[in-house]
Structure 1
């Protein structure tokens, strides 16, 4: 069931995205970068990061906390809109708030609701 994503988590993720340090951002190729490129033909990697930045600035963004990921951290899945297309995003913030892992960035497979 969807719930409001905590502002503290969003702000920590946005700080890393805004910093732009590639050592602090991991993007999964097969489940995030490639599918995002399929949705937005010719998109560059930085556009994926910009899309997440825009999506996370939505004050009412709701998602679902994911507890069974391999890496330690707080992971949220959510659906947001970028350039008039819905995107399913899944993103982890590590416990030290120093790294984000973008697991997913693709068209929703199970409808528009999280």
Structure 2
């Protein structure tokens, strides 16, 4: 007679757990609630940091009149220009530093 094999079930599968997506969203949601409550009760002054509700209202107004998409496009353009300039300058300095002893002394010293 052959032995009866029982499937091995991990302990984590045996107990009911809160889904991971819910655990991961709880922290940020609690932070938003705490921020809103602190703003509403006056603990966090509005001139220091606007409440999430105020930010959402302002963002919706800027979306409706088309100001926000244009401003975001300008910001993305500035970021890309800065990234390109930084990349060109960084690669140039790396080449100067790596290809000559004088360049290494001048660039790597700082």
- TM-score interval, smaller chain: under 0.3
Q: State TM-score, norm by structure 2.
A: 0.26
Q: Higher relative contact order by CA 8 Å / sep ≥ 6: 1 or 2?
A: 1
Larger Rg: 2
Q: State TM-score, norm by structure 1.
A: 0.25
Q: Which has the higher helix share?
A: 2
Q: Which has the higher strand share?
A: 1
